[in-house]
Structure 1
Amino acid sequence: MNAASTLTTRLLTEQPRPRGIADWRYAHWLAVGTVCLGAFLGQLTASVTALVYPALQRHFGAGFAAVEWVALAYLLVLVALLAPVGRLSDLVGRKTVYIGGFAVFGLASLGAGFAGGLGTLVACRAVQAVGGAMMQANSVALVARGVPERAMCRALGIQAAAQGLGLALGPSLGGLLVEHASWRWVFWINVPVALAGILAGWFLLPRTRRPDAGPVPRALPRPVPRPRGAARSRRLVRSDPDGGRFDLAGLLLLAASTTALLLALSAASGLPLPGWAVAALVLAAVLCGLGLVRQERRAARPVLAPGLVNTPGVRPGLAVSLIGYLLLFCPLVLGPVLLAEAGLPTGRAGLVITVLPAAFAVAATAGGALLPRGWSDVARCRLGAALAGAGLLGCALLPAAGAAAPALPLLVAGGGLGLLLPANNALVMRAIPAECSAVGGGMVNMARSLGTALGTALPVLGVHLAGPVPGGRAVLLVLAAVAALAVALSRPVRRR
């Protein structure tokens, strides 16, 4: 028992880097590289999963609506855990939680590869999301802790490039693994990356909490009252500075309403559920949604912050963020189905679909340099949304008989989304008061995750209702119309 307690204490106590590494003048770039491993792994698993849907349907004899929960389970758990894991990291230490995230993610990936049933695979993906939340909740904070201020922007840009690389590599790697090995290798490929992340985190990350730091206080002293002009910002998030209790009830209601809604949508997409269960799910989604609205109006630290959502420019910006990730991930799920109907092998289909996230990654990191210097973020949003809509409309109208036909419109759509989303995020964060930036950033991440979940569920619904090719083309036409809505929602906001 004493040995077990000693081992647990040692694992939960952050260890400093070796002196030779800590004293090196470029040691902070080693820490950035470690964070990039987690960023790469998180986006890789987000984009690689869509390529295994047909193989999972054949192997488990399940429908498309059941197989999609391999992705939805991951996304729902990730949305629910990002905020509480961030609070846990303040208590235990961000380095410890980040390394633990690699361990949980790697073990869950190993179990997913050995899964003997679809339910076991979905459960392993949910556990995988626990590890993903442990990494994502700490990545930016670890960069901020380990990098000098003068190198902060460059370090965050490198992290974004690692995310883009994982997003772009996922479809092509998944297609090749499914075609030449097995769908199980799509999950096993995460294990060596997770092991590398554990070792790199242990030796290269600076510790974020010293052993003698003591417990984190549950509540900080209330600040001195602000001037009258700052009262409006304080009402947006009533206790943002004072360390109030975490809104666990709001988080549970959000997770329950979202899960019930997606389950009902899956039932409409072919998931075998009795009628009374579907009605109960719809009723639960409505009741939990109403309870969430009431809870967020009365909570001290609301998850959604209604006052902040009503700030001019925030609500349309969050809607555009959700739309952008809906437009990004819907073709990743729908593409393999349409290309398989056109007779393309899985490996070649993966290479074609890679064009979309690759163009997104390039445009997100370097696309602004190609535009006129005086262009505003609103103009970039409108251009990006228009290009994304044009590309998706081209995918709907052009035949998918060859690799070149869908690749060009996917390139246009991905480039447009790469212009749209960074500019929209800048508009949202500019409209949010500085003292509410952490809550605002959390809501942007939540909108992104919900858009990804809807982008996974919508193609399944279209394919189930109208068949692979007609339903897929109908979904693409709907996405083009939604992109036009994003153009209309992107408008300048005068900050008060």
Structure 2
Amino acid sequence: MLVRERARPDAVRERPGAWRLAVATVCFGAFMGQLDASVVTLTYPSLRARFDAPLAGVEWVSLSYLLVLVAALVPVGRLADAMGRKLFYLYGFVLFTAASAACGLAPSLGALVAFRAVQAIGAAMLQANSVALVATSAPPARTRAALGVQAAAQALGLALGPTVGAALVATAGWRWVFGVNVPIGVVALVAGHYLLPRTRTRTPVAGFDGWGLLWLSAATTALLLGVSAASGLPLPGWAAGLLFVLAAAAAGAFAIRQRRAGAPLLDPALLRVRGVPSGLAAALCGYLVLFGPLVLAPEVLARAGYSELLTGLVVSALPAGFALAATGADRVLPSGTTDRSRCVAGAAVAVAALAAMVAVPPAAVWTALLLALLGTGLGLFTPANNTLIMRAFPAASSGMAGGLVNMARGLGTALGVALVTLALHLGASGGTGAAGAERHGVPVLLAAAVAGLLAAWRGSRRRGRGSSAAGSPRR
């Protein structure tokens, strides 16, 4: 019973809108994961004071989570395709909720980092299956709308995170930032047990690429450790250069392994589907731009003298704009607007918002308005880009495709945290204030937004030259 998916009750399964219940249940996980992601950045000052650690050390509360998440998403997606997505999703809730409680009780920074790594395994079981569950539950004509609702749930978690996090840190303390996940997880577990459908189409696992997982983990860990060393982590100067060399060597070994393995962790054939590489690159850039400001804006506003609560409200403008655009764009845009057009337009709006931010002083009103505009662009871009990637794969590989999307998201998020922290460190070493922190951080995000726009434009041109190779299986 513990390793078999339970069927939904007949009263649920036979409802005309049963797929909406499944999507709503998946939104619990989407909300929970993003609430956690946006809440944690608000704990950095308290964690630095509590554990007497530099920012480059405290950032590993986020990076340890993201590294494990990135390494686990693809293999978990593949196992879920074979063994059942509902099963993995429910056990993911169990592990994530238990680890959240452990994080709230952590006695040291090292223990907190370790518990966050365990929490990431549960998050991988949720995230690798969330997009797949939505895509396979919703009718084909409603896939984009369903993914938009899921994206809105993510954005709501992001939007509430800064405000909730600031209030919790200021009143109950940083430990309750992790404890807030526990009641949400319990409700979601019960709902998923009764409302999620069983997996109908499964793909057997021919083998497990342990070496591929090892090389991928080594590459991402070395890269982010190298960036952290350059950001003030107490390591010798030569260590940063060595870590970057190790990251490049491990990435090369991973690429070679994927071409030669009988059952590769990341099937190279999937990356040869027309438009998929550019779509994944655009997704990585999009999530870098989405999460980078969650680290940058609180630091900039704190240096400008704003309170924690006001800072949380200002930062909430970014995910609020994201949520409004993700859910309301279909009602505003012309009916013939394609997903490809939305990708390019959304990325262009994000670039414009960040370009304006370079020229605007770090005042609360201007920062909130430009963050809202940035969120609007990303809200246009993200659901449409995810839809294009998911439609490129057959339904039997939707878990693997969802793992790829979420791996790109995890890498983008990790790079957003690490690169913005590096930019802040460079600004602090120069003795600059709020304007200097913004001057160092925003160009990093602007460069990523421009790269995302170019990837989206390239992907739209490639898809426009003919039907996608994998578009037909979905139809």
Question: Which band: TM-score by shorter chain?
Answer: 0.7 to 0.9
Are residues 1:94 and 2:85 paired? yes
Tell me the amino acid that sits aligned with residue 376 of structure 2: G
Tell me the amino acid that sits aligned with residue 487 of structure 1: L
User: Does structure 1 retain, via aligned residues, the 8 Å contact 2:77–2:399?
Assistant: no
User: Does structure 2 retain, via aligned residues, the 8 Å contact 1:303–1:439?
Assistant: no
Query: What secondary structure does 2:414 align onto?
Result: helix
Aligned-residue sequence identity (percent) comes to: 52
Q: Deviations 1:162-188 (Å, cap 9, x if unpaired)?
A: 222212221121112112221111100
Are residues 1:446 and 2:407 paired? yes
Would the alpha carbon gap of residues 396 and 179 (structure 1) be closer, same or farther in structure 2, given more than 3 Å must change? farther
Tell me how far apart the structure 2 counterparts of residues 244 and 254 of structure 1 sit (CA, whole Å). Answer: 20
- TM superposition shift of 1:204: 3.6
Tell me how far apart the structure 2 counterparts of residues 67 and 348 of structure 1 sit (CA, whole Å). Answer: 23
Partner of 1:228: none
Tell me how far apart the structure 1 counterparts of residues 416 and 129 of structure 2 sit (CA, whole Å). Answer: 26
Which residue among 318, 341, 359 is the counterpart of 2:280?
Answer: 318
Structure 1 unpaired stretches of 5+: 1-9, 210-215, 219-242
Tell me how far apart the structure 2 counterparts of residues 488 and 376 of structure 1 sit (CA, whole Å). Answer: 18
Would the alpha carbon gap of residues 178 and 396 (structure 1) be closer, same or farther in structure 2, given more than 3 Å must change? farther
Would the alpha carbon gap of residues 14 and 51 (structure 1) be closer, same or farther in structure 2, given more than 3 Å must change? same
Q: Counterparts in 2 of 1:219-234, with a 5 A limit?
A: none
Q: Deviations 1:84-103 (Å, cap 9, x if unpaired)?
A: 22344356543333222112
Query: What secondary structure does 2:316 align onto?
Result: helix
Partner of 2:67: 76
Partner of 2:34: 43
Tell me how far apart the structure 1 counterparts of residues 388 and 137 of structure 2 sit (CA, whole Å). Answer: 28
User: Does structure 2 retain, via aligned residues, the 8 Å contact 1:249–1:295?
Assistant: yes
- TM superposition shift of 1:387: 1.8
Query: What secondary structure does 2:305 align onto?
Result: coil
- TM superposition shift of 1:61: 0.9
User: Does structure 2 retain, via aligned residues, the 8 Å contact 1:112–1:124?
Assistant: yes
Are residues 1:164 and 2:130 paired? no
- TM superposition shift of 1:473: 1.9
Tell me how far apart the structure 2 counterparts of residues 63 and 46 of structure 1 sit (CA, whole Å). Answer: 20
Query: What secondary structure does 1:137 align onto?
Result: helix
Partner of 1:213: none
- TM superposition shift of 1:427: 4.8
- TM superposition shift of 1:154: 5.3
Are residues 1:178 and 2:144 paired? no
Are residues 1:138 and 2:138 paired? no
Are residues 1:283 and 2:283 paired? no
Are residues 1:257 and 2:228 paired? no
Tell me how far apart the structure 2 counterparts of residues 31 and 171 of structure 1 sit (CA, whole Å). Answer: 28
Are residues 1:475 and 2:446 paired? no
Query: What secondary structure does 2:2 align onto?
Result: helix
Task: Answer with 423-432 or 29-38: which moved more.
Answer: 423-432
Tell me how far apart the structure 2 counterparts of residues 141 and 485 of structure 1 sit (CA, whole Å). Answer: 27
Tell me how far apart the structure 2 counterparts of residues 378 and 30 of structure 1 sit (CA, whole Å). Answer: 28
Tell me the amino acid that sits aligned with residue 345 of structure 2: L
TM-score normalised over the length of structure 2: 0.86
Tell me how far apart the structure 2 counterparts of residues 123 and 386 of structure 1 sit (CA, whole Å). Answer: 39
Would the alpha carbon gap of residues 287 and 374 (structure 1) be closer, same or farther in structure 2, given more than 3 Å must change? same
Query: What secondary structure does 2:173 align onto?
Result: coil
User: Does structure 2 retain, via aligned residues, the 8 Å contact 1:459–1:472?
Assistant: no
| Greater RCO (Cα-Cα under 8 Å, separation 6 or more) | 2
Q: Deviations 1:45-80 (Å, cap 9, x if unpaired)?
A: 122211111111111111111111111111111111
Tell me how far apart the structure 2 counterparts of residues 159 and 286 of structure 1 sit (CA, whole Å). Answer: 35
Partner of 2:178: 187
Tell me how far apart the structure 1 counterparts of residues 348 and 21 of structure 2 sit (CA, whole Å). Answer: 39
- TM superposition shift of 1:375: 4.4
Q: Counterparts in 2 of 1:366-377, with a 5 A limit?
A: 366-377=328-339
Tell me how far apart the structure 2 counterparts of residues 296 and 459 of structure 1 sit (CA, whole Å). Answer: 31
Query: What secondary structure does 1:12 align onto?
Result: coil
Partner of 1:64: 55
Query: What secondary structure does 1:270 align onto?
Result: coil
- TM superposition shift of 1:43: 1.6
Are residues 1:129 and 2:91 paired? no
Would the alpha carbon gap of residues 158 and 427 (structure 1) be closer, same or farther in structure 2, given more than 3 Å must change? closer
